[in-house]
Amino acid sequence: MAKKKVYIAYTGGTIGMKPSAKGFVPQKGFLGATLQSFPEFQHPDMPEITIHDYAEPIDSANMSPEDWHKIAEDIERNYEQYDGFVVLHGTDTMAYTASALSFMLEGLQKPVIFTGSQIPLTQLRTDARDNIINAMYLAANYPIPEVSLFFHDHLHRGNRTRKTDADGFAAFSSPNMPPLASIGSTIKVRDHLLWQHKSKELTVRRFASPKIAILTLFPGISDELVRDFLAQDLDGVVLQSFGSGNAPVNNKPLMQAIENATSQGMVIVNCTQCLKGSVNMSTYETGRVLMDAGVTSGFDMTTEAALAKLYYLFSRGIDVDTIRDYIVVSLRGELTN
């Protein structure tokens, strides 16, 4: 049988950095040379790999929607030639990029797996080797047709993932959904969880440039701050509220500022600040008032997924009411409803 072929896009990040007098720095070709020096990569069970080093490696803190599109187009150009794709990415904003590509890559029928590391590949205690080997193996041998993220023995749906540890090896989790697959002495894939695209033809949905922002509530937040924030020329806002979707309803001017914004066409999506759980605005008065003010429930979407979904929907040329309708529908498995 012909070997499976995996395309590796090294966009930047800790995993492929080289030690230097100025600390760890990216260098073109260094990652590929390092991988080829490891005996594991000569094992007969390993797929045939092609590594594409991005000409200008991107620190994930600098990642932008234009960079998301660049990665999506890279996959599109090589889609027919490979069985699966691994995207090496810095950990800081990996969950944002994985969420964005889950919406951009419409009709995806092949694995696209994000991974990275907390310690560079060249270091003794690195987590990079296990992450990249397992990501490559899964991409080659398990036709999981969605954008996912592999870290520390677990494959998560990309748009359900959050970075929950700044320096631990188990840096990512999907708090409201079990992993798609778990790696131990055997590989356990939860087939019933896999997302199936209705379309079978890959289409890259380029994001336009809607004005999207995130507003986090906190005890004592002033109505002036919220009013000034929402007075900006914004299309959509992810509102990070308390608990199951609650806000300080005793602050009448603050609530009025929210209602004014939604009545003027701003889409405000309510996501909980809690790591786990779902927004249910009908439970308490402090949530119901938000619902009455025109705020749309984000259910159990992550902030990263809600942000990416707003970019996607505002880029489709549909009206605001339709966008609000689609927010509460699972388009890529990003929410439970």
Give the Cα separation of 108 and 202 in Å (integer): 5
Structure tokens given for 260: 């004014």
Under a CB-based contact definition with an 8 Å cutoff, are residues 159 and 99 in contact? yes
Question: Rg for the chain (alpha carbons), in Å?
Answer: 21
Instruction: List Cα–Cα distances, 166 to 171, 176, 307, in angstroms.
Output: 7, 20, 21
* Catalytic residue from among 11, 91, 161, 272: 91
Assign 164 to helix, strand or coil.
coil
Q: Is 126 a catalytic residue?
A: no
Structure tokens given for 311: 């970019």
* Catalytic residue from among 11, 14, 93, 272: 14
What are the residues whose beta carbons fall under 8 Å from the beta carbon of 72, sequence distance 6 or more?
Answer: 101, 104, 105, 204, 206
Q: How far apart are the first and last CA of the chain?
A: 42
Per DSSP, the residues of 220-243 read: T--HHHHHHHHTSS-SEEEEEEBT
Q: Is 91 a catalytic residue?
A: yes
Active site residues: 14, 91
